[in-house]
């Protein structure tokens, strides 16, 4: 509409200018040597305008002719890009349909001529992953990395994810360590690093990653707490194998909530007992058990080789006033009474523990105590009970074997 209005305005102005020049009259005389050209002003103006218009049209034609090769090249490029785009779409569709081999072939066609070669090579890498062609997968990922300088992190993350899916944990760890060096504290990298380290039992590495993972919210709070606890467990276990100093340093390095964890406390107590520091373990257990009951910690309390077993026994007897039927407390009291050489109370406690919960250890301790007291028949009975309650499958005689043995007795 605007062009039509502009054309009408130009036409009106042209008509007005022509009428104005016609009214003015006048001549234009051009002399060239012996030649003289005489015309009206109006006609001269028309000739000039027509000449300029012809020159402009000629320039447009020449420009079009000169631009033909360029336009042909652009058409060819667009054609190749359209074909590559069609191969990309077809390859991705076949990949989604599970036709990995066909997808890989299509995605590689015209990948170098596509306007998005990165997507071609990434799709081909995923197709190779499905076909378990891991070396080929890594080749495609390397090509994808070269197509875009800014895609290094994305390509690396995809490579690590594919390596994790194929359980190539060492390769995934190497890839993620490189990414963490080049792009420090990236949440996705940290999360995948934690997963790879956990699969490889790289708990020292996990320890070093946890502060950054918490700060940058790489994983949720529940996962962080689980990893912190697991790392602490492995740290304590390693330290316990070394010496008491390493064990104490590892324990003191734990956060306060972790030092209240029963399983971690059991490992620490076992380590203290192993390295001859049972009295420290007894004090620690006494404080923990005073706050909350735990049957496994009670068992460890009774097993400690403390310097004053009678004092520890008094503590257990105070707990028994609150839980008089508890078999773990009764067994612990019996063991401590044995160590304190209070034979009568030891027997009473162990018999009470065995009556409330049949247990190989209670029966075995009772057998040893009865043997010490000279009651060998009762001791043998308790030893047999202990064997009955062990995890070893019971040995049974067949009927024929029992009849044969009975025959031996009669003979």
Give the tens place of pLDDT for each residue, 62-91.
776 676 666 556 655 566 666 767 777 787
Query: In the chain, which stretches have pLDDT less than 70?
Result: 3-4, 6-34, 36-49, 51, 61, 64-65, 67-82, 84, 389-411
The contacts of residue 239 (CB under 8 Å, 6+ apart) are: 246, 247, 249, 250, 251, 271
Number of neighbours of residue 411 by Cβ within 10 angstroms: 5
Could you tell me if 162 and 125 are in contact, meaning their C-beta atoms sit under 8 angstroms apart? yes
- Residue 18 has a pLDDT of 59
- Residue 321 has a pLDDT of 92
Listing DSSP states for 40-78 in one string gives EHHHHHHHHHHHHHHHHHHHHHHHHHHTHHHHHHHHHHH
- Residue 10 has a pLDDT of 61
Could you tell me if 361 and 331 are in contact, meaning their C-beta atoms sit under 8 angstroms apart? yes
Alpha helices (H) along 260-342: 262-274, 278-291, 295-303, 309-322, 327-339
- Residue 195 has a pLDDT of 95
- Residue 397 has a pLDDT of 43
CA 301: distance to chain centroid? 39
Number of neighbours of residue 239 by Cβ within 10 angstroms: 21
- Residue 45 has a pLDDT of 64
The contacts of residue 145 (CB under 8 Å, 6+ apart) are: 151, 152, 155, 156
Instruction: Enter the tokens of residue 201.
Output: 């039992």
- Residue 22 has a pLDDT of 56
């Amino acid at each position: 509409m605007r062009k039509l209005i502009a054309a009408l305005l130009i036409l009106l102005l042209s008509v007005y200018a022509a009428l104005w020049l016609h009214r003015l009259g006048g001549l234009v005389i051009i002399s060239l040597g012996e030649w003289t050209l005489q015309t009206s002003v109006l006609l001269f103006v028309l000739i000039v305008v027509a000449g300029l218009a012809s020159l402009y049209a000629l320039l447009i034609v020449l420009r079009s002719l000169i631009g033909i090769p360029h336009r042909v090249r652009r058409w060819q490029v667009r054609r190749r890009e359209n074909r590559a785009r069609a191969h990309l779409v077809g390859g991705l569709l076949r990949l989604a349909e599970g036709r990995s081999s066909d997808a890989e072939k299509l995605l590689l066609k015209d990948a170098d001529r596509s306007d998005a070669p990165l997507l071609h090579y990434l799709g081909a890498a995923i197709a190779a992953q499905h076909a378990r062609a891991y070396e080929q997968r890594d080749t495609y990922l390397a090509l994808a990395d070269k197509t875009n300088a800014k895609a290094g992190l994305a390509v690396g993350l995809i490579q690590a994810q594919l390596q994790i899916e194929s359980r190539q944990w060492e390769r995934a760890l190497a890839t993620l360590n490189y990414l963490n060096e080049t792009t420090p504290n990236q949440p996705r990298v940290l999360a995948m690093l934690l997963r790879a380290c956990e699969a490889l039992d790289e708990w020292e590495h996990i320890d070093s990653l946890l502060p950054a993972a918490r700060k940058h919210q790489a994983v949720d709070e529940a996962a962080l707490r689980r990893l912190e606890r697991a790392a602490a467990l492995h740290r304590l276990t390693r330290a316990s194998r070394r010496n008491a100093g390493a064990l104490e340093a590892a324990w003191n390095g734990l956060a306060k909530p972790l030092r209240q964890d029963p399983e971690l406390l059991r490992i620490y107590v076992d380590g203290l007992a192993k390295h001859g520091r049972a009295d420290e373990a007894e004090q620690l257990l006494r404080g923990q058990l005073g706050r909350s009951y735990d049957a496994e910690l009670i068992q460890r309390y009774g097993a400690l080789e403390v310097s004053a077993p009678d004092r520890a026994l008094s503590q257990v007897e105070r707990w028994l006033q609150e839980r008089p039927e508890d078999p773990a407390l009764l067994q612990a009291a019996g063991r401590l009474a044995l160590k304190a050489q209070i034979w009568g109370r030891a027997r009473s406690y162990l018999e009470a523990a065995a009556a409330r919960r049949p247990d190989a250890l209670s029966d075995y301790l009772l057998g040893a105590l009865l043997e010490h007291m000279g009651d060998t028949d009762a001791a043998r009975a308790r030893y047999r009970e202990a064997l009955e309650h062990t995890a070893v499958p019971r040995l049974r005689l067949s009927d024929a074997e029992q009849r044969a043995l009975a025959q031996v007795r009669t003979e």
